[in-house]
Amino acid sequence: GIQVEQSPPDLILQEGANSTLRCNFSDSVNNLQWFHQNPWGQLINLFYIPSGTKQNGRLSATTVATERYSLLYISSSQTTDSGVYFCAPCRNDYKLSFGAGTTVTVRA
Amino acid sequence: EAEVAQSPRYKITEKSQAVAFWCDPISGHATLYWYRQILGQGPELLVQFQDESVVDDSQLPKDRFSAERLKGVDSTLKIQPAELGDSAMYLCASSFGGASRNEQFFGPGTRLTVL
């Protein structure tokens, strides 16, 4: 599978702060998904973004496939943003490869 | 809103017992995936189905794990016998399938504890 490196591994934010999470991957990809894993363990879809930039409320993501990385931006963070964020690229075999995730803690 | 359903949500079992997990994908999704997530790590694919056929089960420990999707809709993952190292979250996901329709959606998972 594709090797995925996410950074930073842990991130502590004060409520209202902005942050950037990075995902590097080892191979060319057909698409890439970002997920938020909530405290109960469910993976929530954030973005399906093989290339370019997308925005959804306070979150946005950019994938530069030719340079093998993707970024997730969180603006005006809230306590509900806490959790683990996973990047998962895949090739044309449709199999997602997950990184170890970035654990985000937002303090009130 | 369509969701992937899984049951049970939690399962506690003793070593050497058999356990089974059930998954019902989003209606119309031809591709179904089972993942295992060990605490502190990202999910890892165990098996992938396209309709009722297994596409990839290369990471499935076949001496003790089995998976089926008999009618191409819902699926069951079984472990027999369970071992201590099987304690993990088991996640099911589904997608329409095909190059332009392969966004995966996950169910709530089954958290397995083997004592």
Q: Which residues of A touch B93 (CB under 8 A)?
A: 43
Q: Are B77 and B34 in contact (CB under 8 A)?
A: yes
Question: Would you give the DSSP letter of residue A73?
Answer: E
Q: Is the dihedral of CA A50, A56, A62, A68 positive or negative?
A: negative
* Cα distance between residue A104 and residue A10, in whole Å: 6
Q: Which residue has the higher pLDDT, A36 or B70?
A: A36
Nearest chain B alpha carbon to A47: B103
Upper half-sphere CA count for residue B109 (Cβ side, 13 Å): 21
Residue B100 is predicted with a pLDDT of 67
Q: Rounded CA gap, B53 and A94, in Å?
A: 15
Cβ atoms A43, A34 nearer than 8 A = no
Asked whether the beta carbons of residue A96 and residue B44 sit closer than 8 angstroms, the reply is no
> Helix, strand, or coil here: A81?
helix
B1 pLDDT tier (thresholds 50, 70, 90): low
Query: In chain B, what percentage of residues exceed pLDDT 90?
Result: 90
Residues of A in contact with B99 (CB under 8 A): 30, 92
Please check the confidence at residue B70 and state whether its pLDDT lies above 90. Answer: no
Among B91, B99, B109, select the one facing A92 at the smallest CB separation.
B99
**% of chain B residues with pLDDT over 70:** 97
- The pLDDT of residue A66: 94
B97 chain-A contacts, CB cut-off 8 A = 94
Q: Does B10 touch chain A (CB under 8 A)?
A: no
How far is the C-alpha of A97 from the C-alpha of B17, rounded, in Å? 31
Other beta carbons within 10 Å of A104:
21
